């Protein structure tokens, strides 16, 4: 084999590792809590607060792109007396934490 073959393989290897690191999947950290809804409050210039039976609470702001869908699911779950699973952006959030920003919600049948 010629030296150019080994040089090309070395360069390919040299550039493929950083490319794989840059293009690889990014692990996203988040926390989820199964909660029973006990109260809601809308106000404070577009904030929607949700209280849970475990003492925790969450908030979503009207500026959030998912505000309408999240509020609709929360309202539906509360009226139906169903548990929901709330997702927070941070990893390791306690389910009894207060005023945590909601980034997602699961509503199960």
Do residues 31 and 50 make contact, with C-beta atoms less than 8 angstroms apart? no
For the chain, what are the domain ranges? 31-107
- CB-based contacts of 99, cutoff 8 Å, min separation 6: 49, 57, 58, 59
Question: Average pLDDT per run of 10 along the chain, which is 109 residues long?
Answer: 53 47 63 95 93 95 95 94 94 94 90
**pLDDT at residue 29, rounded to an integer:** 85
Structure tokens at 58: 């969450």
Structure tokens at 68: 């309408």
Task: Note the CATH number of domain 31-107.
Answer: 2.40.50.50
**pLDDT at residue 21, rounded to an integer:** 47
Beta bridge partners, 84, equal: 35, 107
């Amino acid at each position: 084999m010629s030296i150019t073959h080994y040089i090309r393989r070395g360069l390919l290897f040299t550039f493929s590792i950083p490319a794989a690191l840059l293009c690889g999947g990014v692990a996203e950290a988040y926390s989820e809590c199964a909660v029973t809804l006990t109260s809601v409050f809308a106000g404070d210039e577009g904030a929607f607060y949700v209280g849970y039976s475990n003492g925790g609470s969450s908030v979503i702001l009207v500026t959030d792109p998912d505000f309408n869908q999240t509020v609709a699911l929360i309202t539906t779950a509360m009226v139906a007396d169903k548990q929901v699973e709330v997702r927070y952006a941070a990893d390791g959030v306690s389910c009894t934490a207060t005023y945590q920003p909601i980034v997602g919600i699961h509503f199960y049948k």
